[in-house]
């Protein structure tokens, strides 16, 4: 190294900013300090270009200059750690993983992506100390490959005699990360690509699966044992710095001009209606569902109470409808317009794919690989045809929807990952078309434990209605006819996407007036119990009302929830309860349809059948089929109802048939 370059580099680390960074590193016990590439360019453009183009030569020079400055200021700390370096970051250009080419080899590059797996931290042998068994000479070698023989001439004749001395060798913490392309950067129809990243020392355990990171490092070739020279080689990035981007929507840079425009939009009284009309404008009608999807994109405010209990702010919405009611189109649009959205389909998803999987890494160890709900952290996870998932896979969604975490305990790995996302799901009725004469839970093939976790559930029914059919057909034809009028959304999708991202900064607070309106609605719905003996609403729906009202306030860029927001929440909740929380036999509101799967009318009939079987069993030891039916018909049950209830109770394991034509309680 020339004297001038050495002096110049020493001058770089004598700047006030970097002397302070060195002081902080000493206090926190770190071995690296961050160096902004922009500072290098300002200091010496030629040097900065050399660092980027020949990092294997110039990065060690930077490390040496930083260590020299450390020795001047903190000699004791320098003698203890032996090595000190820099982590260069903020390169002017970030390369997409799929655009990495051979020309980038041995150059300093930066990539953006999501951590999908992270190995355990293991020690890496950096400087090995080998001792001769015969003469005791110690030789230090960079890397793990031992010298073929001792340098001492007396030992040179003998067979290989070098052994590793661990206490004199230098080890570094080492970890392998798998970095995948971000879903929003993925070209349509392409499989996301992953690259291996090797991190050392201070950079280990900085990022966990599901985190979004910017990696700056040197693109290197991985050489496997037994590979021929002509074979294509595996590439990896030897990381210089790992910067977690957190969960903020860093990809959407909002300018001051755009911020001013958003505030002007929010001041317009018609803005909320324009936002609703901007959701999937190619679909005619379904205003209340578009409104629910819009509010799901904005979301409420998550809270942590003093006792440590966390209450989610994300909304979960389920759409159940006949084929051809545009459910999938709405879902796809929501995934695209969300600042962070992951789309998946029920049939092609497993529990591991939705949550997290334990896979074997290159070194033979087990590592965690993040699934769809973890990748959608702080965004939305869209699941089409959720009813087509296997029941054992669907169970994995319970924790994601309630606690917003993914817990894994497999292969010795016990971990909890964040999955703070909204779930927007769609399902088809079990019999092809929605039957209004059957309860909601019998129409859809989903367990009650899952249904009860959705904030809003809507039914889309395909019923012929002359006026609506004319509007829909005219709209569809105009989309396909060349001279037809194409309906432009009032707000462009790109602007809407940024508007949603901007609104996430707002934390709306519930005003006493809005709280009073929501509470009065809740109490009035609960009072129905006195007249009908049915539970029409539970505390879970009250929490949902608060979340919807907060989302409405966010959509209007307000930091308080007004009475108007509360009334919008009540209107949507009433619509949802009117469609699903009704006992079809009595026509009365009964939330137990989706909370327990058995409305009050069904529970009364079940208990009647159980009582009659118990009475007959006490008299004869079993309940005869004919006597049972006769007694139940006398109590007012029809033959078809009796058949259905008996079949249901046998399926649930409440009763059994010890012999044909007889029943006993289980």
Q: CATH number of the domain that 427 lies in?
A: 3.40.50.300
Joined tokens for residue 488: 């432009």
Identify the bridge partners of residue 123 per DSSP, sorted by sequence position: 173
CA nearest to 548, candidates 263, 285, 316, 309: 316
CB crowding 30-53: b at 16 or more within 10 Å, else e: bbbbbbebebbbeebeebbebbbe
Report the side by side order of strands in the sheet with 655-656: 623-624, 662-665, 655-656
Say yes or no: 312 and 177 in one domain.
no
Place of tokens 């110049």: 8
Say yes or no: 85 and 110 in one domain.
no
Rounded CA separation 287/305 (Å): 35
Position 595 in a domain: no
Q: 244, 264, 285 — which closes off a domain?
A: 244
Say yes or no: 132 and 199 in one domain.
yes
Parallel, antiparallel or unpaired: strands 413-418 and 194-200: unpaired
- Give the pLDDT score at 224: 59
Position 47 in a domain: yes
Say yes or no: 575 and 629 in one domain.
no
Say yes or no: 151 and 216 in one domain.
yes
Position 251 in a domain: no
CA nearest to 416, candidates 450, 378, 455, 373: 373
Rounded CA separation 325/427 (Å): 11
Give the SS3 label for residue 448. Answer: helix
- Give the pLDDT score at 365: 66
For residue 153, the number of C-alpha atoms closer than 13 Å in the C-beta half-sphere is 0
CA nearest to 213, candidates 223, 203, 221: 203
Spell out the residues 6+ positions from residue 88 whose beta carbon is closer than 8 angstroms to its own: 35, 37, 40, 51, 59, 62, 108, 216, 240, 241
- Give the pLDDT score at 67: 83
Position 134 in a domain: yes
Rounded CA separation 200/171 (Å): 10
Element (H, E) at 63: helix 55-73
Q: What does the DSSP 8-state code read for residue 470?
A: H
Which is it for the CA torsion 499, 501, 502, 504, positive or negative? positive
Say yes or no: 109 and 70 in one domain.
no
Q: 89, 115, 130 — which closes off a domain?
A: 89
CA nearest to 150, candidates 112, 158, 520: 158
- The pTM assigned to this predicted structure is 0.68
Say yes or no: 522 and 647 in one domain.
no
Rounded CA separation 488/333 (Å): 15
| Host domain of residue 111 | 97-244
Asked if residues 240 and 87 have their Cβ atoms less than 8 Å apart, the reply is: yes
Rounded CA separation 319/331 (Å): 9
Joined tokens for residue 627: 């006597």
**Domains held by the chain: number:** 4
Which is it for the CA torsion 462, 465, 467, 473, positive or negative? positive
Average pLDDT for consecutive 10-residue bins of the chain (666 residues)? Answer: 63 80 82 84 84 85 83 79 80 85 86 82 81 77 72 66 76 83 73 84 78 86 60 80 65 71 82 81 76 85 79 84 77 80 77 75 68 80 83 79 80 77 84 70 75 81 66 66 63 81 82 85 68 56 84 86 86 78 45 48 68 75 74 72 74 73 73
Position 592 in a domain: no
Say yes or no: 330 and 236 in one domain.
no
Say yes or no: 634 and 569 in one domain.
no
Say yes or no: 284 and 402 in one domain.
yes
Say yes or no: 295 and 395 in one domain.
yes
């Amino acid at each position: 190294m020339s004297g001038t370059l050495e002096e110049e580099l020493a001058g770089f680390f004598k700047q006030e900013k970097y002397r302070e960074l060195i002081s902080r590193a000493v206090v926190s016990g770190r071995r690296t300090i961050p160096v902004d590439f922009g500072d290098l360019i300002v200091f010496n453009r030629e040097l900065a270009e050399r660092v980027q183009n020949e990092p294997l030569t110039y990065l060690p020079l930077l490390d040496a200059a930083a260590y020299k400055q450390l020795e001047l200021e903190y000699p004791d700390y320098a003698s203890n750690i032996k090595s000190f370096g820099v982590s260069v970051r903020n390169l002017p250009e970030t390369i997409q993983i799929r655009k990495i080419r051979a020309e980038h080899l041995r150059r300093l590059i930066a990539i953006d992506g999501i951590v999908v797996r992270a190995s355990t931290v293991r020690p890496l042998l950096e400087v090995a100390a080998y001792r001769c068994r015969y003469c005791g000479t110690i030789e230090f070698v960079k890397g793990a490959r031992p010298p073929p023989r001792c340098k001492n001439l007396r030992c040179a004749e003998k067979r290989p005699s070098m052994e590793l001395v661990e206490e004199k060798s230098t080890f570094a913490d080492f970890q392998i990360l798998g970095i995948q392309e971000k879903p929003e950067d993925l070209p349509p129809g392409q499989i996301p690509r992953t690259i291996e990243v090797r991190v050392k020392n201070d950079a280990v355990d900085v990022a966990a699966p599901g985190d979004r990171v910017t990696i700056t490092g040197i693109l290197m070739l991985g050489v496997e044992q037994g590979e021929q020279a002509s074979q294509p080689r595996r590439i990896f990035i030897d990381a210089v710095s790992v910067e977690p981007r957190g969960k903020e929507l860093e990809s959407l840079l909002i300018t001051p001009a755009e911020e001013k425009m958003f505030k002007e939009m929010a001041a317009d009284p018609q803005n909320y209606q324009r936002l609703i009309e901007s959701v999937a404008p190619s679909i005619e009608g379904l205003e209340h569902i578009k409104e629910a999807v819009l509010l799901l994109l904005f979301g409420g405010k998550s809270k942590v109470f003093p006792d440590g209990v966390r209450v989610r702010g994300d909304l979960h919405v389920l759409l159940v409808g006949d084929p051809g009611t545009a459910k999938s189109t709405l879902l796809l649009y929501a995934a695209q317009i969300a600042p962070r959205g992951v789309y998946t389909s029920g049939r092609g998803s497993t529990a591991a794919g939705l949550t997290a999987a334990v896979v074997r890494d290159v070194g033979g160890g087990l590592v965690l690989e993040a699934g769809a709900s973890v990748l959608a952290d702080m965004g939305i996870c869209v699941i089409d045809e959720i009813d087509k998932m296997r029941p054992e896979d669907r169970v994995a969604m319970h924790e994601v929807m309630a606690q917003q975490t993914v817990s894994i305990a497999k292969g010795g790995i016990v971990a909890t990952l964040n999955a703070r996302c909204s779930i927007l799901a769609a399902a088809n009725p079990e019999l092809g078309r929605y039957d209004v004469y059957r309860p909601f839970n019998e129409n859809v093939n989903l367990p009650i434990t899952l249904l009860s976790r959705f904030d809003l559930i809507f039914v889309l029914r395909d019923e012929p209605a002359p006026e609506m059919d004319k509007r829909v057909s005219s709209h569809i034809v105009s989309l396909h006819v060349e001279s037809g009028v194409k309906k432009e959304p009032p707000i462009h999708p790109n602007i809407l996407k940024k508007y949603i991202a901007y609104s996430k900064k707002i934390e709306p607070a519930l005003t006493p007036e809005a709280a009073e309106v929501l509470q009065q609605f809740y109490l009035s719905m609960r009072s129905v119990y006195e007249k009908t003996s049915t539970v029409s609403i539970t505390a879970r729906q009250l929490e949902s009302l608060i979340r919807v009202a907060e989302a409405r306030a966010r959509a209007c860029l307000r930091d308080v929830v007004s009475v108007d927001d509360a009334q919008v929440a009540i209107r949507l909740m009433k619509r949802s309860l009117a469609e699903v929380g009704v006992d079809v036999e009595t026509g009365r509101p009964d939330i137990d349809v989706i909370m327990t799967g058995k409305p009050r009318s069904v529970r009364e009939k079940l208990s009647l059948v159980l009582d009659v079987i118990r009475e007959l069993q006490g008299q004869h030891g079993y309940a005869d089929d004919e006597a049972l039916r006769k007694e139940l018909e006398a109590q007012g049950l029809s033959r078809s109802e009796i058949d259905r209830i008996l079949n249901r109770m046998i399926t649930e394991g409440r009763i059994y048939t010890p012999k044909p034509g007889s029943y006993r309680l289980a």
